Amino acid sequence: MVIAIIIIIFALFAYSYSQIQVSLNEVSSVSVELENLSLTDLIKLGIDALSGNWIEAAIGVIAGINLELVFGLSNHGLLPVYIPELSYDLSLNGVLIGTGNSTLNTTIGPGETKEIPILQIIQKDNLNPAIESIINTKGIVDIGVSGTAYFEIWGRSIPIPFESIQQISLVDEIQKQLDKQI
């Protein structure tokens, strides 16, 4: 009888942990940091915009991009689940540009979903491999994350793989930053 109860408890834990879902719910805020622009730079941007090279010129003045990635962690199981950390690879239009890792230390109750915001800073050097694809898509960027959330049970860390994509318009975000500077 005791063995049956232990097996049932173990089965409930296993079921609960198999019902964890991780996704990139949204990219809630995007801020584009621009290089220090002189009047000459702004005039060049205007000329490039008129000649049709707007995206290429605008990307050329980016110093970095700050993304707030909002991950959704859902527990569709029957028991609370403790998730200590999350790690992921970040890609823009399918081009790997870096990795991220966050310590969460959160417990998700049965039927509960928690949104976890993580700030991801992308410097210009890391952005370079994706620039051609950003130009080809006219500034539309698919932000992809694929990684692993870890949960702990009886002192062991067990991985939960996930993959998710959200789309933004980098052109719109650059335009907002230029409007602030002008």
The pair of structure tokens assigned to 30 is 């995007």
CATH number, domain containing residue 166: 2.60.40.10
Distance (Å, whole) CA 163 – CA 90: 10
**pLDDT over 70 (residue 7):** yes
CA 176 to chain centre: 21
Distance (Å, whole) CA 75 – CA 111: 5
More confident residue, 155 or 94: 94
pLDDT digits (tens, 9 = 90+) for 89-148: 999 999 999 999 999 999 999 999 999 999 999 988 888 888 889 888 988 899 999 999
**pLDDT over 80 (residue 16):** no
What is the pLDDT confidence band of residue 15, given thresholds at 50, 70 and 90? confident
The pLDDT of residue 8 is: 84
What is the pLDDT confidence band of residue 178, given thresholds at 50, 70 and 90? low
DSSP letter at 60 equals: H
- Rounded to an integer, the average pLDDT of 38-45 is 75
Angle at 146 between CA 85 and CA 59, to 5 degrees: 110
pTM (2 d.p.): 0.78
Structural domains of the chain, count: 1
Burial 1-28 (b: 16+ CB within 10 A, else e): eeeeeeeeeeeebeebbebbebbbbbbe
Residues above pLDDT 90, as percent of the chain = 31
Distance (Å, whole) CA 56 – CA 91: 19
- Rounded to an integer, the average pLDDT of 26-54 is 76
- Rounded to an integer, the average pLDDT of 11-27 is 82
Q: How far is CA 13 from CA 8, 10, 114, 122, 181, in A?
A: 9, 5, 19, 38, 54
Strand 140-153 with 81-92, pairing: antiparallel
Q: Calculate the average pLDDT of the chain.
A: 84
Q: How many CB atoms lie within 10 A of CB 98?
A: 16
Write out the residue range of the structural domain in which residue 55 sits: 2-181
Torsion of CA 22, 26, 29, 31, to 10 degrees: 90
The pair of structure tokens assigned to 106 is 């959160």
The pLDDT of residue 182 is: 60
The pair of structure tokens assigned to 128 is 């370079």
The pLDDT of residue 91 is: 95
